[in-house]
């Protein structure tokens, strides 16, 4: 049995042949004598048109089959050079493999993305989500391909951790203790010795610290896995569970890091444009006009680079009234990021050398002793898509920063030890996978690029 994808791909070898195809009815229409079914077998974004005539086994029954009935069609492939689709099947026999009820909740009329979020089990059957999740899958493949071809070692870092990689305290607690019957110590504190690991543990916010250990063994490594943040941000770009790609490179500085990020990002875009033509054409027409041209431009031009201090000056000079007043030392807000990428530069830009106070403890302190060797990649429409830095490899400076951040040095003993034994300069970054999917598909809400999203107050499936 050929797949619909094979039929499109190797069209010539199917013309005038008899085939047997299994799939679901996406739409249908009929007149007295002729019926049309748009069949989708899941293997390809496009449907297969099936035509049946009066003389079919059971014309009246077939005409009444509800949407998403699973059927088997036996028929002949016929070329249709003047029609929308290159070929169709003239059915000789149609049989039902699995029925579908008449009240299928996604009918032909266009439903809002909000409504479809209430149907996460069915929405992958719609054109939009079918395209999104096929592109998401291709992007994951492209990312592995990119790094593997460069000789990077894929390292899986733990999902349950005992340290806070970002030091931001936005973690989900992991425990086996009974919340209704907590064991207490004599001092009236929860007795963590009774917990599964005998200590406090959390879901990881980033695999970076462990990736650093591996980079100092393999030189070039990357992670690709789920990360979790209990951020109370109810926005279109924040999820509580999202995936991150975190390369870490040794004998490398911030500039090497930025080059790698730019090369990787362009590679992913190029791979998707070449391997998901039907899906990308769909996004271009129905989700974000001009998307393909914009992405093509990105591949063919250099990303911008601006220091944080320059960015602050540009924002101060901007003829825009920002909600958050602009001053050196503040964290860039979405409105500032959008101004920089959409108005000022009109392309992806790296903002580098942020004030050390607003960035994580592990970032390398610059000569000025005020800023760190950090880089964020900002893109039009989405904002921050990558966050990275050169790491502080000098033991004394690292210790000083950790103390200044009130960190418990004992918990990070192994991370500190990496600086004692051949801790060369190294750098890395984290690409937010969902934000990259949003950027490439043009989808504007992170809830619509995750199969089963988890966000503040929402974990329904």
Q: Is 66 helix (H, G, I), strand (E, B) or coil?
A: coil
The dihedral through the CA atoms of 404, 409, 411, 413 has a sign that is positive
Given ligand 4AD, Mg ion, none, residue 385, with its beta carbon under 5 to 8 Å by kind, binds: ligand 4AD
- In the list ligand 4AD, Mg ion, none, the entry touching 435 (Cβ below 5 to 8 angstroms by class) is ligand 4AD
CA distance 216 to 219: 6
CA neighbor of 70 nearest in space, from 101, 100, 104, 49: 100
* Binding stretches for ligand 4AD (CB under 6 A): 165-166, 206, 208, 229, 231, 238-239, 242, 244, 246, 384-389, 428-430, 432, 434-435
Contact partner, 428, from ligand 4AD, Mg ion, none, Cβ < 5-8 Å per class: ligand 4AD
Q: Which is nearer to ligand 4AD, 348 or 428 (CB)?
A: 428
Min dist. Cβ of residue 169 to ligand 4AD (A): 13
* Min CB(384)–Mg ion separation in Å: 6
Contact between 247 and 147 under an 8 Å Cβ cutoff? The reply is: yes
Nearest-angstrom CA–CA distance, 53 and 91: 8
Near Mg ion by CB under 5 A, which window of 9-17, 175-183, 243-251, 381-389? 381-389
- We find the least distance from the C-beta atom of residue 447 to Mg ion, in angstroms, to be 20
The residue among 250 and 360 lying less far from Mg ion, judged by its C-beta, is: 360
- Partner interacting with residue 388 (select from Mg ion, ligand 4AD, none; CB below 5-8 Å by kind): ligand 4AD
Nearer of residues 161 and 208 to ligand 4AD, judged by Cβ: 208
Tell me whether residue 231 or residue 344 sits nearer to ligand 4AD (CB atom): 231
Sheet of 201-203: strands edge to edge? Answer: 160-161, 201-203, 173-174
Q: What is the nearest approach in angstroms of ligand 4AD to the Cβ of residue 429?
A: 5
CA dist., res. 55 & res. 57, Å (int): 7
DSSP assignment letter at 329: T
Number of other residues whose CB lies within 10 A of the CB of residue 72: 14
Task: State the minimum distance, in angstroms, from the CB of residue 388 to ligand 4AD.
Answer: 4
Q: How many residues does the chain have?
A: 461
CB 150: neighbour CB atoms within 10 A? Answer: 15
Q: Which is nearer to ligand 4AD, 320 or 459 (by Cβ)?
A: 459
CA 131, distance to chain mean position in Å, is: 14
Q: What does 386 bind: ligand 4AD, Mg ion, none (CB cut-off 5 to 8 Å by kind)? A: ligand 4AD
* Alpha-carbon separation of residue 287 from 72, 111, 361, 432 (angstroms): 33, 14, 40, 21
44 binds, among ligand 4AD, Mg ion, none (CB under 5 to 8 A by kind): none
CB atoms within 10 A of CB 19: 16
Q: Are 329 and 358 in contact (CB under 8 A)?
A: yes
Element (H, E) at 25: strand 18-30
- Rounded least distance, CB 158 to Mg ion, Å: 21
CB 234 within 8 A of CB 258: no
CB 239 → ligand 4AD: shortest distance, Å? 4
428 binds Mg ion (CB under 5 A): no
Label residue 33 exposed, middle or buried (CB < 10 Å: 0-12, 13-18, 19+): exposed
> Residue 5 Cβ, how far from ligand 4AD at the closest point, in Å?
31
| 317 three-class SS | helix
CB of 389 to ligand 4AD, least distance (A): 6
Q: Which is nearer to ligand 4AD, 59 or 412 (CB)?
A: 412
> Which of residues 387, 423, 432, 442 is near Mg ion by CB under 5 A?
387
Least CB distance from residue 73 to Mg ion, whole Å? 51
| Least separation in angstroms between CB 419 and Mg ion | 23
Residue 166 interacts, among ligand 4AD, Mg ion, none and using kind-specific CB cut-offs from 5 to 8 Å, with: ligand 4AD
Nearer to ligand 4AD, 39 or 244 (CB): 244
**Which of positions 131-150 make contact with Mg ion (CB under 5 A)?**
none
430 interacts with, out of ligand 4AD, Mg ion, none, CB within 5 to 8 A per kind: ligand 4AD
Q: Which does 244 bind (CB under 5 to 8 A by kind): ligand 4AD, Mg ion, none?
A: ligand 4AD
**Please, which residue, 111 or 117, has the CB nearer to ligand 4AD?**
117
Three-state secondary structure of 372-431: EEEEEEEECCCEEEEEEEEECCCHHHHHHHHHHCCCCHHHHHHHHHCCCCCCCCEEEEEE
- State which residue has the least CB distance to Mg ion: 387
H/E stretch holding 97:
strand 87-98
Residues that bind Mg ion (CB under 5 A): 387
């Amino acid at each position: 049995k050929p797949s619909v994808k094979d039929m499109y791909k190797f069209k010539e070898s199917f013309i005038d042949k008899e085939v047997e195809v299994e799939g679901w009815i996406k739409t249908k229409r009929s007149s007295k004598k002729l019926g049309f079914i748009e069949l989708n077998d899941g293997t390809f974004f496009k449907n297969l048109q099936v035509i049946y005539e009066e003389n079919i086994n059971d014309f009246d029954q077939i005409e009444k089959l509800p949407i998403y009935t699973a059927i088997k069609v036996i028929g002949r492939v016929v070329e249709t050079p003047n029609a929308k689709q290159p070929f169709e099947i003239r059915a000789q026999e149609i049989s039902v493999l699995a029925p579908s009820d008449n009240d299928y909740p996604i009918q032909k009329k266009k439903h809002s993305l909000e409504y479809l979020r209430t149907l996460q089990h069915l929405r992958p059957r719609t054109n939009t989500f079918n395209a999104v999740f096929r592109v998401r899958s291709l992007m994951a493949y492209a990312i592995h391909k990119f790094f593997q071809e460069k000789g990077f070692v894929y390292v899986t870092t733990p999902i349950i951790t005992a340290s806070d990689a970002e030091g931001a305290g936005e973690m989900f607690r992991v425990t086996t203790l009974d919340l209704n019957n907590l064991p207490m110590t004599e001092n009236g504190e929860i007795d963590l010795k009774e917990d599964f690991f005998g200590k406090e543990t959390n879901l990881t916010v980033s695999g970076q610290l462990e990736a650093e250990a591996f980079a100092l063994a393999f030189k070039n490594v990357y992670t690709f896995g789920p990360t979790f943040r209990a951020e109370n941000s109810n926005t279109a770009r924040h999820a509580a569970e999202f995936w991150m790609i975190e390369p870490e490179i040794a004998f490398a500085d911030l500039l090497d890091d930025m080059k790698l990020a730019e090369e990787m990002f362009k590679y992913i875009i190029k791979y998707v444009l070449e391997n998901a033509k039907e899906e990308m054409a769909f996004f271009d027409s129905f989700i974000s006009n001009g998307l393909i041209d914009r992405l093509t431009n990105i591949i063919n031009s250099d990303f911008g680079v601006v220091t944080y201090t320059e960015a602050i000056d540009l924002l101060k000079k901007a003829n825009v009234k920002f909600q958050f007043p602009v001053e050196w030392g503040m964290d860039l807000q979405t409105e500032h990021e959008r101004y920089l990428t959409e108005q000022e530069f009109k392309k992806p830009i790296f903002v580098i050398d942020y004030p050390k106070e607003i960035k994580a403890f592990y970032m390398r302190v610059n000569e000025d002793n005020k800023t760190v060797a950090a880089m964020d990649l900002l893109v039009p429409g989405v904002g921050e898509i990558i966050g990275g830095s050169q790491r502080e490899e000098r033991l004394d400076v690292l210790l000083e920063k950790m103390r200044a951040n009130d960190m418990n040095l004992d918990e990070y003993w192994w991370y500190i030890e990496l600086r004692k034994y051949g801790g060369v300069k190294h750098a890395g970054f984290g690409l937010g996978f969902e934000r990259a999917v949003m950027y490439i598909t043009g989808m504007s809400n992170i809830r619509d690029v995750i199969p089963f999203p988890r966000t503040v107050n929402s974990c329904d499936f």
